[in-house]
Amino acid sequence: MRLRYPCAMLSRRTLLGSVAALAARRVFAFGDAARVSFAQIRHAGRWDPRPDGLSRLAWEISKRTSIETSPVVKSIALADPDLFRYPFSVFSSDQAVPAPADSEIAELRRYLSYGGYLLLDDASAARGSGFEQSARQIVSRIVPGGQLARVPRDHVLYKSFYLLDGPAGRVASTPDLEGLELGGRLAILYSGNDLVGALARDSLGTWEFEVTPGGELQREKAIRLGVNVAMYALCLDYKEDQVHIPFIMKRRRI
């Protein structure tokens, strides 16, 4: 089963026609089963340092885009075959992670080769952290000899929904996102700035962490980056279609 969200495989005309048809028949929707859900990968370390961050990202995506998301984030082990039900997964910690077993790496490789998308989010937001080293080792095992490389600023990731000029997160620690391409697409993304942490709220609904050094403007940029990452994971490079240029330029002027 391919994991790619349908808009990656349809022409824009076909996609818009399908959306219109679905809107006309909205009363017959499939409910929560039709919503996009995110997966938080469990590992042998501190695997969920920002428990509410992904739920908030799902809420922001649903509010800001036409994609319907579920606020329920699935915690799932690397060896669980249900991982293949989730097109967007997050592997995170704020410390070094024990090395996954070879069988887990093999399943993760298969998940990515089938179209899955993996965000490696460093919750420590510290350059050269234990998690960063763990993440680089995992990438080199997924693709023997593979290395994370800088995502250029003109990559479609930075314009998949919002026009952005660079990364953001809870802390402005690293100036670039890094990633690994598989089959011509960015399949793994590494964020060293605690992207999910910038979105986390506590039980009272207030932001859980300060965002430094840029404050709330930086938080908004982090939210927009999260939306872009999810849109890219689900739709790949549809924004490269020239028909979107007038819409993008109009948004830029707002």
Lowest model confidence (mean pLDDT) among 2-16, 133-147, 156-170: 2-16
Question: What is the average pLDDT across 156-179?
Answer: 96
In the structure, what pLDDT confidence band is assigned to residue 175 with cuts at 50, 70 and 90?
Answer: very high
Residue 15 pLDDT > 70: no
Residue 30 pLDDT > 70: no
Question: What strands lie across the sheet with 74-77, from one edge to the other?
Answer: 74-77, 38-42, 88-93, 117-122, 185-191, 178-182, 149-150
pLDDT digits (tens, 9 = 90+) for 187-236: 999 999 999 999 999 888 899 999 999 999 999 999 999 999 999 998 86
Write out the two tokens for 252. 């830029």
Write out the two tokens for 137. 């080792």
**Helix H or strand E segment including 41:** strand 38-42
Beta strands in 52-193 (DSSP E): 74-77, 88-93, 117-122, 149-150, 178-182, 185-191
Residue 245 pLDDT > 70: no
Amino acid sitting at position 77:
A
The full set of domains in the chain, from first to last, is 6-253 (3.40.50.12140)
pLDDT digits (tens, 9 = 90+) for 99-121: 999 999 999 999 999 999 999 99
The model's pTM: 0.82
What is the per-residue pLDDT for 203? 84
What is the per-residue pLDDT for 34? 66
Backbone φ, ψ for residue 219 (5° rounding): -60, -45
